[in-house]
Structure 1
Amino acid sequence: MKKRLAIIGSLFTIMLLLAACGDNSDGGSESADSNAVWERIQDAGKLVVGTSGTLYPASYYPEGSDELTGYDVEVIKEIAKRLDLEVEFKTSDFSNAMASVQNGRVDIAANDIEITEERQEQFSFTEPYKYSFTSMIVRKDDLSGIHSLEDLKGKRAGGEAATNHSKIAEQLGAEVVAYNNAANDVYLRDVDNGRTDLIINDYYLQSLALQAFSDFNITIHPDFKFDQITQGALLPKDATELKKQMDNALNEMREDGTLTKLSEKFFGGADVSKEPEENLPTVKELLEEQK
């Protein structure tokens, strides 16, 4: 009898040990999944980044140069440097950059990317390194006939498919004229010549675009500033350790003034790395006011 009890006790102990091992394995698997992207990057010694190369001043090639630069580009270069990684940029349009993060062709995407709830369902983001709001470029002489939000109905808005700004244009009743990774001058010239009527985009980008193409008949609409936005690098959804490492580097850059210096370099002295104090209405609030 004692022998039987001893055998049963031993079997019970083995079952407990197996159960414990099973629990640890599950936890280890979850940890492995969250660390996998970071470990692969460390093994390669390189961070592969999707970006457009056509969006001044976030990601672009200066005239006469084949070296990519811009605010997002230099922020990512500095993060990689602090993580002891090389960095490789692969250029494509915005939709392809996001798809490339999902299929593993690139590790992250960085291209003035707005952090939205919808995108957070599929992706992770670093802490924001840019704060801004949305504005609207129109023709200078007649504001493209837009004097209220209702006037946007039927207007043609230049934009890239799948961007949040194109979705806003559609919400406001405009028809989106889609471009495939076109440079800023193409968008702006089409507003100037009447092919399109407006461009909805980031305020700081639009301000710099106006300076760069001052001969165009375009301006930022004085009456429409809305939707405070935050922007950061886009990561795979489960890349928990990669996000942690990048956020640590970003926090160091914020504290030692590196982000401010990069911002002032690319945004005409403005510090876009700090959250603005001004509160602006959302698109939803503007649409409700219009009813």
Structure 2
Amino acid sequence: MTTRRLTLAGLALTAFAALSAAPVLAADALRIGSYPANPPWEFKNESGDFEGFEVDIVDEIAERLDTTIEITGLDFRALFVATASGRVDAVISSLSITEERLEAQSFTQPYFSGALGVAAKAGTDIASQEDLRGKRVGSIATSFPETWIKEREDELGYKSYGSYDSTANLLTDLRSGRIDVAVNDIVGLRYAFTQAQMSDLEVAFDIPTGDKFAIMMPKNSDHLQAFNDAISEMKEDGTMATIYEKWFGEAPAEDSVTVTPLPIPTSAE
């Protein structure tokens, strides 16, 4: 075979290899874990597809990284196992950055500063933390609200604490009177109470905590810097503010973490 023919054959093989590899790269979707019943952060619609504030965020990140996402619904506690084991590339579920979590997982920069909501039956006389004394309290297992409540058991003086595997079960027990109050993310509670079947519940009061929500990833993930850079770009070009207004009905505060680019967190502060 002549040198020219060898060269052409080599080029053909190279081109074939490149074409063969292209679909593999395109199919290499980011694996996202999510708690599927957490509106407006993430939830399944009537078609069975995920949507929500954080779903829009990871969709946008994937587009900027020239890839796609595949979201898997998991029990809330399973989200932490999934990241630790590398089963997923990232997790979304209104997750607070905490010192304890940073020991085993990594987080992107935050995009929301949260507060706790204390829910009770409509017309309740519960109006402050002092009113929790002697009450039966519930929240979601392994969540930031649960940690906050347990750390303040003596201070709050509640009668008992119940740990739940889902928001639906938590609010069902609140409606039935098995617990007196439910403590959870205030945005999620307010969204839930706009539904007709939840009209007998209300947010009695809120507790500003300053905790910050972000995307959780396996410790020192190879994707971490790219995710963080994409979030910074979204904050700078107004995309994050647009997503925020779509789901919360108002523009984020000008100096909030929603619009302020930040580095990858090394602490919860």
* TM-score (structure 2 length as normaliser): 0.76
> Alpha-carbon deviation of 1:218?
2.1
Task: Compare 213-222 and 123-132 and name the one that shifted more.
Answer: 213-222
Segments ≥4 residues shifted beyond 6 Å: 41-44
Residue of structure 2 in register with 1:207 after alignment: 190
Residue of structure 1 aligned with 2:151, choices 150, 156, 171: 171
Matches of 1:159 and 1:121, distance apart in 2: 23
Which position in structure 2 is the counterpart of 1:162?
142
Contact 2:36/2:44 (<8 A) preserved: yes
* SS at 1:72 equivalent: helix
In structure 2, what is the Cα distance between the partners aligned to 1:247 and 1:130? Answer: 14
Q: Hey, what does 2:250 align to over in structure 1?
A: 269
Aligned mate of 2:223, from 242, 263, 267: 242
- Residue type of the partner of 1:246? F
Query: In structure 2, do the counterparts of structure 1 residues 109 and 42 end up closer, same or farther at CA, with 3 Å as the change threshold?
Result: farther
- The answer on whether the counterparts of 1:263 and 1:273 sit within 8 Å (CA) in structure 2 is no
* 1:271 alignment partner AA: P
> Match for 1:231 among 195, 207, 213?
213
| Secondary structure at 1:74 match in 2 | helix
More strand by share: 2
CA deviation map 1:90-112 (0-9, x unaligned) = 11111101101111111111111
Give aligned pairs, total.
229
Max Rg structure = 1
Query: Match for residue 217 of structure 1?
Result: 200
Q: Secondary structure at 1:112's aligned position in 2?
A: strand
Partner of 1:257: 238
Gaps of 5+ in 1: 1-40, 277-291
**Aligned AA for 1:221?**
A
Aligned residues of 1:56 and 1:205 also touching (Cα < 8 A): yes
Instruction: Give the Å deviation of 1:214.
Output: 7.1
Matched, 1:187 2:175: no
Q: Which one of 95, 112, 130 corresponds to residue 113 of structure 1?
A: 95
Is 1:133–1:202's contact at 8 Å kept on the other side of the alignment?
Answer: yes
Return the offset for 1:197: 1.5
> Which is further off, 153-162 or 99-108?
153-162
Which one-letter code corresponds to 1:199 in the other structure?
A
Distance 1:99 1:245, change over 3 A: same
Q: CA RMSD in A?
A: 2.5
User: How far apart are the structure 1 equivalents of 2:165 and 2:217?
Assistant: 23
Contact 2:122 2:201 in 1 (8 A): yes
Question: By percentage of residues, which structure has more helix?
Answer: 1
Distance 2:80 2:181 in 1: 25
TM-score between both structures, scaled by the size of structure 1: 0.71
Instruction: Identify unmatched segments of 5+ residues in structure 2.
Output: 1-23, 258-269
